[in-house]
Amino acid sequence: MNAYAWTVEFERIFRQAVQAYGEGRRGAENFFNPDELNFLQSIGCTAQELYDFAEDNSNRGDPDFGTVLLITAARRDYFQIHLHGKYSGQTVAMEALPAKTDQVDGIEWLPRLIMKARLKLRGEMNADLMYGCGGDRAFFRKYDIHPADFLRLAWAAEDDDQCLIDYVKSRSVA
């Protein structure tokens, strides 16, 4: 893969997935050929992740391609720089995540979102979980935070939850 032009190939695959979804094809296992799967794996993206983005884009127009690209770029950078292109082979069970109604400093959804961001960066998302799902997007809109910015902040904060909490609180709209 040409590292300089990875975004061109990613966009082609994304747009093809959106079209396939619009034509009625369903299931991540039906969307990508072996070369595309190898490409996605090389950038730290799973077929399920891209399928979820294509599905939501087709059904709701959100997230747009730019957002999908920025989220994927953050994960790709973490995957290549921090994880040296290696998958852990682990996934976290859905039951291990904080509930959607859990709060920290009165901010509902944030404990779950912090964990999802870290799982996304590490590539340990359960296939039934999506970083940037409708609930995440509603949270990000409410606090005027781009999902890719939150991922990069989670990377920079490492295990410091308070850094993420303080950032979100600073974005609070009264």
Per-domain residue ranges for the chain?
1-87, 90-174
Q: What percent of the chain has pLDDT over 90?
A: 93
Question: Model confidence over 36-66: pLDDT tens digits?
Answer: 999 999 999 999 999 999 999 999 899 999 9
For the chain, how long is the longest CA-to-CA vector?
49
Torsion angles phi and psi, residue 28, rounded to 5? -55, -30
Residue 1 has pLDDT above 90, yes or no: no
pLDDT at 18 over 80: yes
pLDDT for 4: 85
Q: Which of 116, 130, 115 is nearest to 52 (CA)?
A: 130
Q: Using the 8-state DSSP alphabet, how is residue 27 labeled?
A: S
Model confidence, pTM:
0.95
Instruction: Give me the residue label for tokens 């009625």.
Output: 24
